[in-house]
Amino acid sequence: MSQPPFRRVLVALEAGGPDEPFYRAAAELAARLGVALSALLVEDEDLLRMGELPVARQFNPLKGSLQPFEPGSLAREVRAELNETRERLSRACERLGIPVSLQSVRARPGPALEEASEEADLVVVAATGRPLARRIGIRPSTLGAALASRRSVLVLPGGELTTTRWLVPYDGTDAGKRALAVALQLAGRDGRQITVLLPGAGSDELREQVNAALPPSGVSAQFLQIEPPTLPALTELLRHVSQGTLIIDAESELLHGDAEKLITAAPGAVLLVRSG
């Protein structure tokens, strides 16, 4: 079996975190890679401070009005929620027999994650926190921090991770090659197929390059074209494909350095590969 592309996987969590499927997905990924999970639970300093500030207000969508916080109530609620988050992740890992180490810090999520990610080579974050209303989710602070970090990031929208279909844009660049290598390593663990997304021009050559890279992994490839090779065309293609996890290098020309746009528009999970 080949070496896993990621050995140290860090799950970033905060109060108001994602729903149950996220924890399952994180645990499944660790199981797939055959590695342990590290979890960082951030007690958001800003949030706790807010609860102590008399002028701060809370908007409850059910009541539809601003109300002052009850003294000490927010801190209690945050602690309770983090405890629940911890338990959920522990349960999910326990089910799959994945060792998990949990670390709680009281800090601002960005700096806390930046520091913790130094020890990881993949950060797993949710695209949205627990929704306020059915379709209104607040972007977690950890997502911004993860995207700003130097580590590879797996963003799970709605907590879903599709491991049956890996999609990887390949344009023959180093960035494309890095993403392809990760895709082959992930798919190769159970000999599945990958879907390679080729830019229209020179696709035959690229196809040959991909095919040449396949044999040691035992993975087969199918090819789709991104026409034109732009981010909107990529997201449109992803919508058509409907299900699958996109593996893309952060240096890919398709992103033009703005991974946020892709994360916002992509319908499924995105694994942003970084060489650092």
Partner 1 sequence: MPDALSPAELRPRFDPKRFSFKTTAELKPVDQIVGQDRAVAAIRFGIGIDKGGYNLFAMGPEQTGKYQVVRQFLEKAAAREPTPGDWCYVNNFADEKKPRALELPAGKAAALRERMSEFIEELKVAIPAVFESDDYRARRKAIEEHFKEEHEKVFRGVQEAAKDKEIALIRTPMGLGLAPMKNGEVLNPEQFGRLPEEERETMEKEMQELQEPLQEAFARVPQIEKEEREKIRELNREVTTHSVSHLIKELSREYEDLPEVLEHLEALRDDVVENAASFVLSSGQGGEPQGRPGMPGGPMVDPAFFRRYEVNVLVDHAGTEGAPIHFEDHPTLSNLIGRIEHQAQFGALITDFTLIRAGALHLANGGYLILDARKLLTQPFSWESLKRALNSECIRIESAGEMMSLVSTVSIEPERIPLNVKIVLIGEPMIYYLLSAYDTEFSKLFKVVADFDDRMDNTEDNHENYARLLTTLIERNALKPFDAGAVARIFDESVRIVGDKEKLTAFTEDLSDLMREADHWAADAGRESVSAEDVQRAVDEKIFRVGRIRDRMQEQIIRETMLIDTSGTQVGQVNGLAVYQLGQFSFGKPSRITAAVRLGRGGIIDIEREAKLGGSIHSKGVLILTGYLNSRYAPHHPITLSASIVFEQSYGGIDGDSASVAETCALLSALSEVPITQELAITGSLNQRGEVQAIGGVNEKIEGFYDICNARGLSGRQGVIIPASNVKHLMLRRDIADTAAEGRFHIYPVTTVDEALELLTGKKAGTRGKNGKFHKSSVNYKVEKKLEEFSERARDFNRPPKSTGTAKKKTGKKSEEPGT
Peptide bond into 228 cis (omega under 30): yes
Member of 8, 31, 36, 69 binding partner 1 (CB under 8 A): 69
Report 75-94 residues binding partner 1 (CB under 8 A): 77-78, 80-81
Report 135-164 residues binding partner 1 (CB under 8 A): 135-136, 138, 140
Q: Which is nearer to partner 1, 45 or 115 (CB)?
A: 45
Q: Nearest approach, Cβ of 60 to partner 1 (angstroms)?
A: 4
- State how far the Cα of 208 lies from the Cα of 265, in Å rounded to an integer: 30
Q: Which of 13, 14, 15, 16 is nearest to 27 (CA)?
A: 13
Q: Nearest approach, Cβ of 240 to partner 1 (angstroms)?
A: 5
Q: Nearest approach, Cβ of 50 to partner 1 (angstroms)?
A: 4
Helix, strand or coil for residue 233? helix
Question: Is residue 242 at the binding interface for partner 1, with CB under 8 A as the rule?
Answer: yes
Q: How many residues bind partner 1 (CB under 8 A)?
A: 45
| Amino acid code (one letter) for 40 | L
CB atoms within 10 A of CB 253: 16
Residues forming beta bridges with residue 168, ordered by sequence position: 196
Q: Which of 240, 87, 219, 89 is nearest to 164 (CA)?
A: 219
Question: Is residue 59 at the binding interface for partner 1, with CB under 8 A as the rule?
Answer: yes
Positive or negative, the Cα torsion across 149, 154, 156, 157?
positive
Report 101-120 residues binding partner 1 (CB under 8 A): 108
- State how far the Cα of 98 lies from the Cα of 27, in Å rounded to an integer: 7
Question: Is residue 223 at the binding interface for partner 1, with CB under 8 A as the rule?
Answer: no
Helix, strand or coil for residue 135? coil
Q: Nearest approach, Cβ of 238 to partner 1 (angstroms)?
A: 9
Q: Which is nearer to partner 1, 3 or 240 (CB)?
A: 240
Residues that bind partner 1 (CB under 8 A): 15-16, 44-47, 49-62, 64-66, 69, 74, 77-78, 80-81, 108, 129-130, 132-136, 138, 140, 239-240, 242-243, 265, 267
